[in-house]
A and B are shown apart, each in its own frame.
Chain A
Amino acid sequence: MSLVAMRNICKQFSQSIIALDGVDFSIDRGEVISLLGENGAGKTTLMKILFGMVKADQGEIFFNGEPVLIDKPLTAIRMGIYMVHQHFMLIPAMSVLENIIIGNESGTGPLLDLREARRTVVQLIREYNFDIDVDALVRNLSVGQCQRVELLKALYRRADILILDEPTAVLTPYEVTDLFRALEIFRREGKSIIIITHKLKETLHIADKISVLRNGTMVKHGIIPAETSAIELSSLMVGRSVNLDRRRPAKSIGDVCLTARNITVDHGNGNTLKDISLSVRKGEILGIAGVEGNGQSLLLKALVGLETGPGVNITVNGKKLRKSPKQFLNSGVGHIPEDRTIMGIIGEMSIKDNIILGYHRSRPFCKHGMRDEKEIDRYSRDAIEEFAIKADSGNMKAGALSGGNQQKVMLARTFSQPLHVLIVAQPTRGVDVGSVEYIHNQIIGLRDSGVAILLVSADLDEIYTLSDRISVIYEGEIVAECLPGELTKAQLGLLMTGNSLTPVETGRD
């Protein structure tokens, strides 16, 4: 008998969106199950139903064979289920200890007894070898440490079933290893773990069993890793075979197109760039590898005109750019921003209005200050088709699209314009595997047409696969530059976390 079993779970969000269609799922004690699937396949929804955050339209949940009703997260937590969300639910201004005990404070009456809680938490930290100070403020922690705080929250609540939503999405290779080590201990203690992911290699590495969801149906449940392969899993996920690891180096690299010389910015609080110089040639992709929060955002801002100042010195095709994002845009610097929902897409506006954003004042979209509705319609219809955006029409709100399709809207916007330079950040974050392949192909295609591309990504695999040259950024400084073959991913990971390679081998200067 399974510890938890979900039977015939159905969930429909609207008439056209069926999130889950009769899904069965089960997990045993001490088992690690990887829930695999593309974005929008229904993985997170299924787990939110188990955690009581979403109500299923149909279906039953059994706990130790007994049917149970999980109507809210608190019920789930009392049953020993805990979910660590993709976006951590932590309060930055509070300490690690305070974050852990929130909602579960010990003490008598209205008085808070932190002493006992502290003892428990300190012991947990020691037990699992988590390197965290209980009194540190959460805002000063790294992403990996935040995740450990979330895990501690689960342990403090004596959770037996842990649900982790995309736990490795924001971690460096070393942090991933640490996380897996911790999960290993949990398993040995008899805890059950469900990992929501779309990363195949990790899945094969950590999981006891693999379940694959596609379009709201369970394609296959309980696959044994030893009996499958990454290729089989990806074809189960996508419905066809994909290959994301094939490197396609540039064939012909031209003259220098984009140059940044000695960029120095200091906004305090570690929000700095220290003397960054880089150049990108036509038909070349320069990848910037680094752990998030090491100055990438600031560098991106400087490269697209959002950060201007005496220390910012950008040249495109010999022309100095210094004024505003508009000047950069008009000089053929395309920009796919890092945070789609905040910086890229205007969710409340239609797809067609998003596609022309930034170019809306130029012909043929605008004549004498008036919108040319017909041209905008025609143009956006073509773009929607060309970039395979899944939408009923251009009038649909962009916010209603899936992450991958929103990303394609941004590609359609930028790639349809004449470009010299492309600044692209996190192009496939939260994007399904099928779209990842498509987006990578588009970027490579653009490079081969002679555009100079600067790629920033937290996904080291992506940097490794796409880049013709890699620079490593750490604390606002370029600490190394190399060709993809020169260093292993593990070595890059060391550089990204501020360690040096011994013997020093950082490639060319």
Chain B
Amino acid sequence: MRSSRFVPYGFAIPAKYGYSASALLLSLVCVAIIILFTGYSPLEIYQLIFIHTLNNKSRIFLALSQATPLIFTGMAFAIAYRVKIINLGGEGQLHIGGMAAAVIGAYVTGLGHVSHVFLSLAAGALAGAFVAFLIGIIKNKLGTSEVITSILFNSIIVYFTSFLCNGPLKPAGSATAQTKAVQATARLTKLVAKSQFTTAFIIAIGIAVLLYFLLNRTTLGYEMKAVGHNAVASQVQGINVSRVYLFTIMISGAIAGLCGAILVLGVNGRYVEDLSLNYGFAGLSVAALASYEPLATIVSAIVFGILKAGSFAVDRTTSIPVELVSVVQAFVVVFIAAPRMIDRLFDLVRSIFDLKKWRTKRI
């Protein structure tokens, strides 16, 4: 008879994180095989990614700053998924949020640093929430799946913001598609000189804590969990399910919008057309790896941040491109979606090495 899984040596880790770790490991194994085909040694590549990145202070901060937008989009996807809403519109919400923050940051003047940053961030969050509100309303009133509408909204928004920064908001004399630079008062403070590591990271952690609090301590969070696990029973017991959906997707949109805002205020200093390096969709992998838990999202985003930072070095020194990270992300989603397969693999490994015997000996 088998006891519950992933309980090594007496202290229990929730099984879901065991699956996450396994999924990550398996993804790295699969990518290693792909690397083998390119003629490089996977061991060297991974050494380059992990050891090289982590043995240098400035590269650690590079990894953390790469992780920051992923924390936001990861949380955005995770919180929506807690009510079983699949918000694939993170990308669009990010762009509209970035645009709103860029406009407020550039054209509003005469504010102090804190209030200007706050106002710009709020504009970003509101813009993201507004788009999410539309998706939610369409879902509630017409029954259209948010999976479809949120993806379609991405195109609408990206073309709209692209139009703005190519047309009306393009500064005179600029050759590239971008908006006017935001005021110095609206820039996020760098925490480490000569890096992109800004207060955005602290904001991200603050929001993760807030979400944790919302989910676990408030009545609304309780309703969200109830609706996510069983919407019918929730409705039967008097919970206004549509309202919970709407509220949750708006929180999700606001966080995605904030991501756009911190990219504008912290990284680029203005809205640029390629503001998001696919962060919106990467959020899906981040959230899945974190088992949709807000606090765990920080960890999983940092894992991907390290991969990203490391892949820059790989990109420079080998012919393997940065997109290596996207492949890992894709594998993670596949493996997370297949917990049974992971179970089987573990059974196989167990039967080969007879881990159980080994384990009981150790204890």
Which residues in A have some Cβ–Cβ distance to B below 8 Å? 12, 14-15, 57, 304, 306, 324-326, 328-330, 335, 337, 342-349, 353, 357-358, 360-361, 365-366, 369-371, 373
Contact = CB atoms under 8 A, between A and B. Distances in A.
Given A325-B235, A349-B225, 13 more contacts: A14-B1, A304-B236, A328-B238, A335-B237, A337-B236, A343-B232, A344-B236, A345-B230, A345-B233, A357-B233, A360-B223, A371-B218, A371-B222
Contacts of A366: 219
Contact of B240 (A304, A324, A370, A373): A324
A306 B222 contact: no
B56 interface: no
Contacts of A346: 226, 229-230, 233-234
Contact of A360 (B1, B222, B232): B222
Nearest to B226: A346
Interface string B89-120: 00000000000000000000000000000000
Contacts of B226: 346, 349, 353, 357
A325 B217 contact: no
Contacts of A353: 222, 225-226
Nearest to A357: B237
Contact of B236 (A343, A365, A369, A371): A343
B235 A347 contact: no
Given A349-B226, A371-B217, A371-B222, A343 B238 contact: no
A369 B232 contact: no
B3 interface: yes
A50 B245 CA distance: 46
A397 B229 CA distance: 12
Contacts of A344: 233, 236
Nearest to B238: A326
B4 interface: yes
A326 B243 CA distance: 13
Nearest to B225: A349
B222 A335 contact: no
Contacts of B217: 370-371, 373
Contacts of B218: 369-371
B147 to A, nearest CB: 22
A344 B220 CA distance: 20
Contacts of A357: 226, 233-234, 237
Contacts, number: 76
Contacts of A335: 236-237
Interface of B: 1, 3-4, 217-220, 222-223, 225-226, 229-230, 232-240
B235 A306 contact: yes
A89 to B, nearest CB: 21
B219 A371 contact: yes
A345 B232 CA distance: 10
Contact of B219 (A14, A343, A370): A370
Contacts of B4: 14
Which 8 pairs from chain A and chain B are nearest by CB?
Answer: A358-B237, A326-B238, A348-B229, A346-B230, A329-B238, A325-B238, A357-B237, A366-B219
B236 A306 contact: yes
Contacts of A324: 238, 240
A490 B3 CA distance: 51
B240 A343 contact: no
Contact of B220 (A12, A337, A369): A369
Contact of A326 (B219, B222, B240): B240
B209 to A, nearest CB: 15
A258 B218 CA distance: 35
A358 B239 contact: yes
Contacts of B225: 349, 353
B230 A361 contact: no
Nearest to A12: B1
Contacts of A370: 217-219
B21 to A, nearest CB: 22
Contacts of A57: 1
Given A326-B238, A346-B226, A349-B225, A361 B232 contact: no
Contacts of B229: 346-349
Nearest to B219: A366
A360 B233 contact: no
A417 B247 CA distance: 28
A488 B237 CA distance: 36
Contacts of B1: 12, 14-15, 57
B106 to A, nearest CB: 37
A507 to B, nearest CB: 33
A325 B236 contact: yes
A106 B236 CA distance: 47
Contacts of A348: 229-230
Most chain A CB within a 10 A radius of its CB, from B3, B229, B234: B229
Nearest to A344: B233
Contacts of B233: 337, 342-346, 357
Contacts of B223: 360
Contacts of A343: 232-233, 236
B237 A15 contact: no
Nearest to A414: B237
A371 B217 CA distance: 5
B222, B229, B234, B238 — most chain A CB neighbours (10 Å): B238
Nearest to A18: B1
Contacts of B222: 353, 360, 371
A304 B236 CA distance: 8
Contacts of A14: 1, 3-4
Contacts of A15: 1, 3
A497 B151 CA distance: 51
B240 to A, nearest CB: 7
A360 B225 CA distance: 13
A60 B79 CA distance: 50
B82 to A, nearest CB: 11
Which of A57, A330, A371 has the most C-beta atoms of chain B within 10 angstroms of its own C-beta? A371
B219 A360 contact: yes
Contacts of B219: 360-361, 365-366, 369-371
A353 B217 CA distance: 12
Contacts of A325: 235-238
8 contacts: A306-B235, A325-B237, A328-B238, A337-B233, A343-B233, A345-B230, A345-B233, A353-B226
A357 to B, nearest CB: 5
Nearest to B237: A358
Contact of B238 (A349, A358, A369): A358
Contacts of B234: 346, 357
Contacts of B238: 324-326, 328-330, 358
B230 A347 contact: yes
A15 B3 CA distance: 7
Nearest to B4: A14
Interface centre among B220, B229, B233, B239 (most CB of A within 10 A): B233
A348 B236 CA distance: 17
Contacts of A365: 219
A341 to B, nearest CB: 9
A14 B240 CA distance: 37
B232 A342 contact: yes
A344 B229 CA distance: 12
Contacts of A369: 218-220
**Which of A12, A346, A349, A358 has the largest number of chain B CB atoms within 10 A?**
A346
